[in-house]
Amino acid sequence: MGTLATRLNKLLKEKDINQTEFAEMVGIKQPSMQRILSGETKNPRKIIKMASVLGVDPNWLLYGDRGAINIGGNAENSPITTTTNNFFSSDKLAKDELRSQREKQKTGLEHSTVNNLPIHQGVINDDFHNLFESLVFSDDGLIEIAKLRNTNGISMITMFNDSMQPAINKGDIVLVNTTLDKYSGEGVYLFIMNNEVYVRRLFQSPDGILRAKAMNEDAGSSFDIAENNLVRVTFLGKCIRVIEMKSHDL
């Protein structure tokens, strides 16, 4: 006759469904599923859903042969009378649905995740300390904090000096639009010049010279970029948003 755990493990092996997939299909957490499959939990609450996913009689799944309902028998005497598979029509459909859900989640994450901007090797000031590997926003957070609809073409850096105080403080997270790889109007840009990384406000003078303005001259200098020197500039992107990083003990 065996046990619930024995029957579950046999069915999962036959249908090529692993523990992680099964837990997601049923809608329970991994530790709970582990206790069920190991036999520690003998009467799980979601037995009907498990049976639906696997396409079997929940009575048989829980009790073995003694729980199966015979034709002509009295189903009212059975502890479980719902046997219709309303969740998935087959294990293939179940796995297809799971894959579809994962793809949607993956696509959603791609549109709401901001990763660190890789800085070219060989720059002089390459001692960057990233506070995060990446930031994942909710839909509301993306709009409220980042003021964006999606994160396509957006990367981030952790500000590495005080040259742009008070607008950008050292340690702040700066969101960078990397699709803007050349000067495209006044704004704060991230660029490399003479193998050094800069964050500066750029604006163009009437005579065509780019002014690179540091807001804190004590921490970084302002300078001009003549037209013939633009070939020495590599634009990494335009800085579009600052997320201030402040922490304190309570």
Tell which residue, 180, 200, 182, has the closest CA to residue 190.
200
Helix (DSSP H) and strand (DSSP E) numbers for the chain: 7, 9
| Number of other CB atoms surrounding residue 200 within 10 Å | 24
Whether residues 205 and 139 share a domain: the answer is yes
Contact 126, 165 (CB under 8 A): no
Whether residues 44 and 153 share a domain: the answer is no
CA angle, residues 51, 102, 152, in degrees to nearest 5: 165
Full domain range(s) for residue 58: 4-109
- Dist CA 23 CA 31 (whole Å): 9
Residue where one domain finishes, among candidates 66, 84, 109:
109
Residue where one domain finishes, among candidates 109, 134, 158:
109
Whether residues 118 and 239 share a domain: the answer is yes
Give the per-residue pLDDT at 2: 82
Give the per-residue pLDDT at 225: 95
Whether residues 216 and 119 share a domain: the answer is yes
Whether residues 118 and 237 share a domain: the answer is yes
Helix (H) or strand (E) holding 202: strand 196-204
Stated pTM of the model: 0.57
Please report, in tens digits, the pLDDT of each residue of the chain (250 residues total): 589 999 999 999 988 899 888 888 888 888 889 999 999 888 888 888 888 888 888 888 888 865 444 333 343 444 444 444 433 444 555 555 555 555 544 444 445 888 999 877 678 887 778 888 888 888 788 888 888 888 888 999 999 999 999 999 999 999 999 999 999 999 999 999 999 999 999 999 988 899 999 999 999 999 999 988 999 999 999 999 999 988 888 8
Whether residues 238 and 120 share a domain: the answer is yes
Whether residues 91 and 166 share a domain: the answer is no
Residue 40, domain CATH: 1.10.260.40
Residue type, 136: V
Asked whether residue 29 is domain-assigned, the answer is yes
Residue 218, domain CATH: 2.10.109.10
Give the per-residue pLDDT at 77: 42
Asked whether residue 249 is domain-assigned, the answer is no
The token pair at 65 is 């042969």
Asked whether residue 210 is domain-assigned, the answer is yes
Asked whether residue 250 is domain-assigned, the answer is no
Asked whether residue 248 is domain-assigned, the answer is no
Whether residues 31 and 104 share a domain: the answer is yes
Whether residues 130 and 190 share a domain: the answer is yes
Residue where one domain finishes, among candidates 74, 109, 144:
109
Whether residues 119 and 231 share a domain: the answer is yes
